[in-house]
């Protein structure tokens, strides 16, 4: 076959204009503390996770989503697949609630070492999906896994009660805007908390949103996400006196969203603003 002069896979980036790949929702899950479990349990968990996902989707009325899954991959300690993004609002709710309830029922009958708790990430974007090798590979897929491994969702699940909270989810900014702020899902923006998603050792940082279907324990304390608070018994730092002609500014009020996450009206961390949802964010009062 004569050479076309093109690199493998077609024309180089930015050399021609071409159609975008189809948009796909991406759902990924990961088991908490998988590598710390005895190796003999790994096979059981690897086969159990997709079974639980299928059952939760069916209970949420999304069984067809499982049947039509795209570029699915069992990662050993988790599972990832693409799906029609029109279903994103119903994947947020009721699927995540059903997954939480299903895991609660499962863990009631499991031994202490056999309990299973899951992190979930949701993203959306253009990905190759032509039924060919390499389908599903691209930046949106990579970012989905980075979100799944990010510090905030790990911290929020680790700090919660293992008897109550079985699922902690993280949504990309795009999913939050398209499915939550738009009003298409039956979860109000105040059910979510904005976080800067970072992964230790990786060049990754994105704005994202945490959602915990059944919050518990320390989830009511923003300090588990890294917000600073004065140590017990320590005095508040002295503030400079305000000019006599102006009253001293009142401290920013603490606000609590509908799920009880405590945050200050604006917390600055690492040069980024980190807002509590529901009125602590942008000018439109949506937390954006």
Determine contact, residues 254/267, Cβ cutoff 8 Å. Answer: no
* Domain assignment present for 13: no
* Domain assignment present for 63: yes
Question: What confidence score (pLDDT) does residue 52 get?
Answer: 97
Residue 23 has pLDDT above 50, yes or no: yes
* Domain assignment present for 16: no
**Domain ranges, residue 85:** 23-219
Which residues in the chain belong to E strands, given as ranges?
A: 23-31, 70-74, 78-83, 118-126, 167-172, 193-198, 205-211, 254-256, 262-264, 267-269, 272-274
Per-residue pLDDT band at 21 (split at 50, 70, 90): very high
* Domain assignment present for 250: no
Between helices 139-149 and 151-158, what is the axis angle to 10°?
30
Instruction: Give how many domains the chain has, as a whole number.
Output: 1
Helix, strand counts (H, E) of the chain: 7, 11
* Domain assignment present for 53: yes
Question: What confidence score (pLDDT) does residue 9 get?
Answer: 58
169-178, 205-214, 265-274: range with lowest mean pLDDT: 265-274
* Domain assignment present for 1: no
Question: What confidence score (pLDDT) does residue 35 get?
Answer: 67
Q: What is the pLDDT of residues 146-162, one digit of tens each?
A: 999 999 999 999 999 99
* Domain assignment present for 210: yes
HSE, side-chain direction, 13 A CA sphere, residue 205: 7
Residue 63 has pLDDT above 80, yes or no: yes
Q: How far apart are the first and last CA of the chain?
A: 54
Residue 40 has pLDDT above 80, yes or no: no
Q: What is the pTM of this model?
A: 0.76
Task: Supply the CATH number for residue 111's domain.
Answer: 3.30.70.1230
* Domain assignment present for 177: yes
């Amino acid at each position: 076959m004569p050479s076309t002069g093109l690199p493998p896979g077609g024309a180089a980036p930015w050399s021609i204009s071409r159609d975008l790949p189809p948009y796909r929702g991406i759902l990924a899950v990961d088991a908490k503390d998988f590598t710390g479990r005895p190796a003999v349990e790994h096979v059981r968990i690897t086969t159990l996770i997709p079974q639980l996902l299928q059952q939760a989707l069916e209970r949420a009325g999304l069984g067809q989503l499982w049947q039509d899954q795209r570029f699915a991959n069992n990662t050993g300690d988790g599972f990832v697949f693409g799906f029609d993004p029109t279903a994103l609002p119903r994947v947020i709710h009721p699927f995540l609630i059903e997954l939480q309830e299903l895991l609660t029922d499962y863990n009631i009958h499991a031994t202490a070492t056999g309990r299973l708790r899951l992190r979930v990430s949701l993203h959306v974007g253009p990905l190759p999906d032509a039924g060919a090798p390499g389908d599903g590979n691209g930046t949106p897929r990579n970012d989905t896994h980075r979100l799944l491994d990010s510090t905030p969702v790990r911290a929020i699940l680790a700090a919660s009660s293992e008897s109550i909270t079985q699922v902690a989810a993280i949504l990309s900014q795009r999913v939050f805007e398209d499915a939550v702020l738009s009003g298409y899902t039956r979860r109000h923006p105040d059910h979510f908390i904005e976080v800067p998603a970072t992964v230790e050792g990786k060049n990754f940082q994105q704005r994202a949103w945490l959602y915990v279907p059944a919050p518990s324990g320390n989830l009511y304390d923003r300090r588990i996400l890294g917000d600073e608070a004065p140590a017990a018994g320590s005095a508040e730092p002295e503030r400079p006196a305000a000019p006599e002609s102006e009253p001293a500014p009142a401290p920013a009020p603490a606000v609590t969203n509908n799920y009880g996450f405590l945050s200050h009206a604006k917390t600055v961390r690492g040069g980024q603003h980190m807002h509590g949802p529901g009125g602590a964010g942008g000018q439109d009062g949506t937390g954006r």
